[in-house]
Amino acid sequence: MTDLNTIVIDEADQALKAKHRAMWASGDYPTLAHDLIWSLGPRVVEAVDVRAGERVIDIAAGSGNAAIPAAKRGADVVATDLTPELFGDGHRRAQDAGAELEWRPADAEALPFGEDEFDVAISTVGVMFAPHHERSAGEIIRVVRPGGRIGLISWTPQGFIGQLFAALKPFNAPLPPGAQPAPLWGDEAHVRELFGDRVTDVRAVRESVRFDRFATGEEFRAYFASHYGPTIAVYNRNADDPAAVAAIDEALRGLGDRAIERDGVIDSEFLLFTATVR
């Protein structure tokens, strides 16, 4: 009975990961990352002070907005992601930047590396989307040597992208058993609990990144509906229900309009979490 249960869980996980890979491969996430959040990569690299000669893993690296600046500092960088379809853009940007690094498909919850293999682990709004948070945190601890450093940037629940996920929740599929909402990684208490006493020198600060390319909520809605995998997935799930699609349109348009009317731009809050492995 135990073996059968294990097989069922494994198959369910495989199906979930396949769904996540397809979601992030849809749209045009590399362009969105370059347009809106490219600055987050250098920010996390600076926060953990990546140094020449260090071995660095970027988990859920996407198209490399953190991996590339880490490599430019002279580090030996491995950029990993569940969705290797994102690597093509990263290859081109790395070449343009004169950066050399390795690109490797990998699941954040089952990294294909040995214990204590890295000096630094970084992730910018990436590892937060792996569904089983304890597994991902455990893998980070496993592959980073004692005394090594961790640097993570995650959207906060109350920030703009956190509000985006809250707006989409009524139209989305329920989370599968054992999965947790991605924005919890942006909650300091949650991340401290995930790592517990396995880390020291913990520092958690809230900062924000500015999306200044949208003049209206409709511009924001249209861009995220065509570029951002999680938004595209929700539209696809409700495609046969015109009323639901209209409600999604209105929810996203209103979210953008409120932010722009309040601040003139969209500021999205994130949590920058750094720590040292014991």
Give tens-digit pLDDT for 99-153: 999 999 999 999 999 999 999 999 999 999 999 999 999 999 999 999 999 999 9
Q: What are the backbone dihedrals phi and psi of residue 104, each rounded to the nearest 5 degrees, phi first?
A: -140, 125
Q: How far, rounded to the nearest angstrom, does the alpha carbon of residue 191 sit from its chain's CA centroid?
A: 14
pLDDT at 9 over 60: no
- Write the pLDDT tens digit of every residue in 152-188: 999 999 999 999 999 999 999 999 999 999 999 999 9
Token pair 């430019």: residue = 72
What pLDDT digit, counting tens, does each position of 226-257 carry? Answer: 999 999 999 999 999 999 999 999 999 999 99
**How far is Cα 81 from Cα 103, in angstroms, rounded to an integer?**
8
Cβ within 8 Å of residue 15, ≥6 positions away:
none
The domains of the chain, with CATH numbers, are 2-212+267-277 (3.40.50.150)
184-205: per-residue pLDDT in tens?
999 999 999 999 999 999 999 9
Give the separation between CA 64 and CA 91, rounded to whole angstroms: 8
Decide: residue 236, CB within 10 A, 0-12 exposed, 13-18 middle, 19+ buried. Answer: exposed
pTM, two decimal places:
0.95
> CA-CA distance, 19 to 193, in Å (whole number)?
28
Q: What pLDDT, on the 0 to 100 scale, is given for residue 124?
A: 98
Angle between the N-to-C axes of helices 160-168 and 242-263, in degrees from 0 to 180, rounded to the nearest 10: 160
